Amino acid sequence: MAVDYSAVIYSVLASIAYGALFYLKAEFPDVAYDNIDLKDILERFDYKKFLATLIVGILVGVVSAWQGDVVTPENFQIKMAIYATYIITVENVLKIIGRYLNNRGKVKE
């Protein structure tokens, strides 16, 4: 069975779009546009978080391709939405597990 790696490529694109969109939402200041220092915003960019999102996107794409998922021009928009949903879900589940493991045994004040 031949594997179509388009699922991996488009899943990575979905993870890039997701990471960039939510970074800009979180970091863009609520000030007038003429007061925005784009250099300062880019310096605060968290490359580790973005890399983690890319890795999750790659994993989602690999699993999708392995299961025989094919992206066509007809289903492109739907697949991008599905991949983004998978990426968001997997990333948040991993964050919940990480927080649980980090806080295990700690007493809540």
CA distances from 42 to 15, 39, 71, 91 (A): 18, 5, 32, 23
Determine the distance from the C-alpha atom of residue 87 to the mean position of all C-alpha atoms in its chain, rounded to a whole number: 5
Give per-residue pLDDT as tens, 28-70: 665 556 666 667 666 777 788 888 888 998 888 888 888 888 8
User: pLDDT digit string (tens) for 77-102?
Assistant: 998 899 889 999 999 999 999 999 98
Give burial (CB, 10 Å; 0-12/13-18/19+) of 6: middle
Choose among 84, 98, 99, 96: nearest CA to 22: 84
Question: What value does the mean pLDDT take over residues 12-20?
Answer: 86
Q: Which pLDDT value is given to residue 31?
A: 53
Q: Give me the count of residues in the chain.
A: 109
Q: Please, which residues have CB within 8 angstroms of residue 83's CB and are 6 or more apart in sequence?
A: 7, 10, 11, 14, 15, 57, 60, 61, 64
**Residue 97 pLDDT:** 93
More confident residue, 4 or 103: 103
Domain ranges of the chain: 6-102
